Amino acid sequence: MSNLEVDPTETICAEQSSDQRVIEVLEPRDVPLGGLRAMNVRRTLPQRARSLIGAWCFLDHYGPDDMRTSRPMDVAAHPHTGLQTASWVFSGTIEHRDSAGNHAIVRPGELNLMTAGSGISHSERTTPDTEILHGVQLWIALPDRTRHVRKRFDHYAPPLLAGDGYRAQVFLGSLLGDTSPVHAHTPTVGAEISLDPEVTLDLMVDRTHEHGVLVDTGDVTLSHGEHGPPQALGWAQLGFAPVGAESLRITAGSEGARLMLVGGEPLGEQLVMWWNFVGRSHEEVIAARKAWMATIDGTAREDDQFGIPDDEPDPPLPAPPAPIARLKPRGHLPPLPTTQQSQDDEMTEQGEHIHIENVPDERRYTIAVNGELAGFAKYRSTQSGKGVAFIHTEVDEKFGGRGLAGKLVTWALADVRDSGSRIVPYCPYVAAWLKKHPEFEEFVDWPTQ
- Per-residue pLDDT tens digits for 59-114: 999 999 999 988 888 899 999 999 999 999 999 999 999 999 999 999 999 999 99
Q: What is the pLDDT at residue 331?
A: 39
Going through 48-181 in order, the beta strands assigned E by DSSP cover 56-66, 74-80, 83-91, 94-98, 103-106, 111-115, 120-126, 132-141, 152-156, 161-163, 166-172, 174-175, 178-179
d(C-alpha 85, C-alpha 113), whole Å: 6
Q: Are strands 387-395 and 422-425 parallel, antiparallel or unpaired?
A: parallel
Asked whether 180 and 158 are in contact (CB, 8 A), the reply is: yes
Asked whether 342 and 328 are in contact (CB, 8 A), the reply is: no
- The full set of domains in the chain, from first to last, is 24-264 (2.60.120.10), 346-443 (3.40.630.30)
Does the pTM of the predicted model rise above 0.85? Answer: no
Asked whether 369 and 376 are in contact (CB, 8 A), the reply is: no
| Whether residue 389 has pLDDT greater than 60 | yes
| Whether residue 322 has pLDDT greater than 70 | yes
Q: What mean pLDDT is predicted for residues 348-365? A: 82
- Per-residue pLDDT tens digits for 274-309: 899 999 988 999 999 999 999 999 999 888 999 999
- Nearest-10 Cα torsion for 51, 252, 133, 237: -30
Asked whether 167 and 196 are in contact (CB, 8 A), the reply is: no
- Per-residue pLDDT tens digits for 165-199: 999 999 999 999 999 999 999 999 999 999 999 99
Alpha carbon separation from 302 to 77, 261, 262, 298, 318 (Å, rounded):
19, 42, 39, 10, 20
Cα three-residue angle 68-71-77, rounded to 5 degrees: 135
| Whether residue 19 has pLDDT greater than 70 | no
Q: How far apart are the first and last CA of the chain?
A: 50
d(C-alpha 286, C-alpha 293), whole Å: 11
Asked whether 321 and 315 are in contact (CB, 8 A), the reply is: no
